[in-house]
Amino acid sequence: MLAHLSHTRLLRYAGLFTWGVVGLPLLYSWMAPYLANATAEDLALRPMPWQGWVAYLAFGLSYGWITRGLGGRGRNGADYLLLVVLTLAALGVSYFTRTGLGSVLLMVAACVLPWLLPLPVGAAWLLIGQLAVAPVFIRWLDFPPLEALMQSMLYAGFSGFVFVVSLAALQQTQAREEQRRLNAELRATRALLADSARVNERTRISRELHDLLGHHLTALSLNLEVAGHLSEGRVREHVLQAHALARLLLTDVREAVSQLRDSGVIDLGAVLRPLAENVPSLAIDMDIEEPLTVDDPARAHVLLRCTQEAITNAVRHAGARHLWLVARREGERVILRVRDDGHGSDAVVPGNGLRGLEERLQQYGGTLAVDSQRGEGFQLTMALPVAANAGIRLHGESDA
Mean pLDDT across 17-43: 75
**Sign for the pseudo-dihedral over CA of 176, 178, 180, 183:** negative
Q: Which of 164, 56, 53 is nearest to 105 (CA)?
A: 56
Query: Whose CA is closest to 366, among 325, 326, 332?
Result: 332
Which CATH homologous superfamily contains domain 266-388? Answer: Histidine kinase-like ATPase, C-terminal domain (3.30.565.10)
Write out pLDDT tens, residues 285-302: 999 998 888 878 888 888
Q: What are the distances in angstroms from CA 386 to CA 247, 293, 344, 360?
A: 34, 9, 31, 14
What confidence tens digit (pLDDT) does each residue in 104-126 have? 999 999 999 999 999 999 999 99
pLDDT for 398 equals: 38
Q: What is the pLDDT of residue 113?
A: 95
Mean pLDDT throughout 353-361? 86
pTM: 0.68
Burial of 48 (0-12, 13-18, 19+ CB in 10 A): exposed
- Residue 87 and residue 128 in contact, taking contact as beta carbons nearer than 8 Å: no
204-206-209 Cα angle (round to 5): 110
pLDDT band at 212 (very low <50, low <70, confident <90, very high): low
- 224 or 89: which carries more pLDDT confidence? 89
Given this model, what pLDDT does residue 47 score?
55
Q: If pLDDT is split at 50, 70 and 90, which confidence band does 216 have?
A: low
388 pLDDT above the threshold of 90? no
Indicate if the alpha-carbon torsion angle 214, 219, 225, 227 is positive or negative.
negative
Mean pLDDT check: name the lowest of 133-137, 328-332, 378-382, 393-397.
Answer: 393-397
Phi-psi region of 170 (alpha: psi -120 to 50; beta: other; left: phi over 0): alpha
Q: Check whether 86 has a pLDDT greater than 50.
A: yes
Q: Where are the domains of the chain?
A: 7-179, 266-388
Average pLDDT over residues 45-53: 70
